[in-house]
Amino acid sequence: MKTKKTFFLFIFFISFIGLISFSPKVEIEKPKPNKLKAKYVFLFIGDGMGMAHIYITNEYLKLHKQPQLSFINFPYYAFTTTFCADSMRITDSAAAGTAIATGSKTNSGVLGMLPKTGEKFTSIAEIAKQNGFKVGILSSVGMNHATPAAFYAKQPKRSMYKEIAEDMARSNFDLFAGGGLYAKDKNELNYLFNNLKTNGYRIFFNEITFNKELDSDKKLFYTANADTIPGFAIPYRIDQKESDVTLSEYVDFGIQFLENETGFFMMAEGGKIDWAAHDNDGATTVKEVIDFDLAVKKALDFYQKHPNETLIIVTADHETGGITFGQDQMGYKTNFLKLDQQKMSEEVFTKLLTDNKSNGVYQLVNTNFELKLPENFYKSTDPKSISNQVTDSLNRSAGIGWTTGSHTGSPVLTFAIGVGSEQFRGNIDNTDIIRFIQNATLLKKK
Ligand SMILES: [Zn+2]
């Protein structure tokens, strides 16, 4: 009898230990079923925009007493994993774009397919088009670059720009707007634009405003100033001139061009947040996030007019640079206003140094970064290296650190507002996004 009692006590004890050592999975209250249907879907992708990119930018805006980033206050957001199918775990934009666009993981560098089996995936943009939605793909970088390409191309390598642009011409999407096309040379660029024309696209190389004559039923490729430059991208916000057409202007145009009774799907990418972060260029990165948010605000204006029919999603394909809020030189202090001393991107400053060797590096640094650095500061005479040291010095004094010139595997955030936005919460993977859009719109693959 005593043995039996001890046995039961033992079992009880074991079960208790089991209960406390395996913490129960937290049940998140299921979102209420939504009776509304989203007709207008905006998917904004900040390339490389991790949580710290967002938070540093928001603090910078607060210091300037300017409104916070619009999307930071969206009612729903989710912790979003970004890993790719390869064992490397850290994704590039092609695999991450594919995961977001199609809901399927692939290897880094691959677009819209599995490289081994050749299986091709269908993107949300293609599904939207099959269902009679108008589709617009917008980006601040070239339209056959990885992120926009993930919505229409099926190619084993992201560097196959010619084949990707040929997939674009066949996509039948209504609008491509923003950057130009990557091509190996001018001849290939001419061929690619002609191929778009053959496939029924009208092409505009100059700034256009939406008007009634611009028949929305005809497909359009719109990029200001890209006709002679392979890989034309919109200049960084920090380098922009008054005459440059910005991402927010393209989004504004896109809304007018795509609006129709059935609905539309628009993907808009802030592609150069990633580029600035690869350069570890803090001021340029912060200003790119601000530029990206101006584009999101255009969608929010539209949402205010159609709150029961619109879904806006803001996400990132991965984190770039391992940027940190705080840096060892500054300890617990930050001074993000220091970033205002920088007058141009590191990229443009490198070019300036290359073109103006005779003007003296110290003078150029003083004029464009308001920095007086010790005479022996530069360890190299290479313009790229000098430029890099200058931005590094400024970042440190602002309290911004970087851990890599590559991507990281840190999760990103996905923000959502509008019809179906309540699905974006808790811990999600980037492959869930397409499913949530389909739930919100009832769009089905045909
Ligand atoms: Zn990148």
Residue 438: Cβ-neighbour burial (10 angstroms; 0-12, 13-18, 19+): middle
Q: Does the pLDDT of residue 7 top 90, yes or no?
A: no
3-state secondary structure of 226: coil
C-alpha–C-alpha distance, residues 303 and 183, integer Å? 37
Reported as a pLDDT band with limits 50, 70 and 90, residue 209 is confident
What integer pLDDT is reported at residue 20 of this predicted model? 46
Q: Is the pLDDT of residue 19 over 50?
A: no
218 has a pLDDT exceeding 70: yes
Query: How many angstroms separate the alpha carbon of residue 39 from the centre of ligand 1?
Result: 32
The domain spans of the chain are 40-323+404-441, 325-401
Tell me the CATH class for 40-323+404-441: alpha beta
| Chain mean position to CA 74 | 17
Backbone angles phi, psi at 312, to 5 degrees: -115, 130
At 183 the three-state DSSP class reads coil
The encoded tokens of residue 309 equal: 């029919």
Q: How far, in Å, is the centroid of ligand 1 from the Cα of 285?
A: 13
Q: Is the pLDDT of residue 211 over 90?
A: no
- What span, in angstroms and rounded, lies between the C-alpha atoms of 354 and 434? 45
| Mean pLDDT over the full length of the chain | 91
Q: What is each CA distance from 204 to 136, 175, 178, 188, 207, in whole angstroms?
A: 15, 11, 11, 18, 8
Q: How many CA atoms lie within 13 A of 260 on its CB side?
A: 18
Res 25 pLDDT > 80: no
Q: What percent of the chain has pLDDT over 90?
A: 80
Q: Which residue has the tokens 């997939």?
A: 167
- What's the pLDDT score for residue 374? 78
pLDDT reading at 11 higher than 60: no
Q: Taking residues 268-282, what's their average pLDDT? A: 98
Q: How far is the CA of 407 from the centre of ligand 1 (A)?
A: 6
Neighbours of ion ligand 1 (CB under 5 A): 274
Cα of 56 from ligand 1 centre, angstroms: 19
Full-model pTM: 0.91
pLDDT tens per residue across span 82-139: 999 997 789 999 999 999 999 999 999 999 999 999 999 999 999 999 999 999 999 9
Distance (angstroms) between ligand 1 centre and the Cα of 158 equals 12
C-alpha of residue 85 to centroid of ligand 1, in Å: 17
Sheet of 202-204, strands arranged across = 202-204, 220-222, 175-178, 134-139, 264-270, 40-46, 310-315, 412-418, 76-81, 426-429
Q: Using the mean position of ligand 1's atoms as its centre, give its distance from the Cα of residue 80 in Å.
A: 17
* pLDDT tens sequence across 142-189: 999 999 999 999 999 999 999 999 999 999 999 999 999 999 999 999
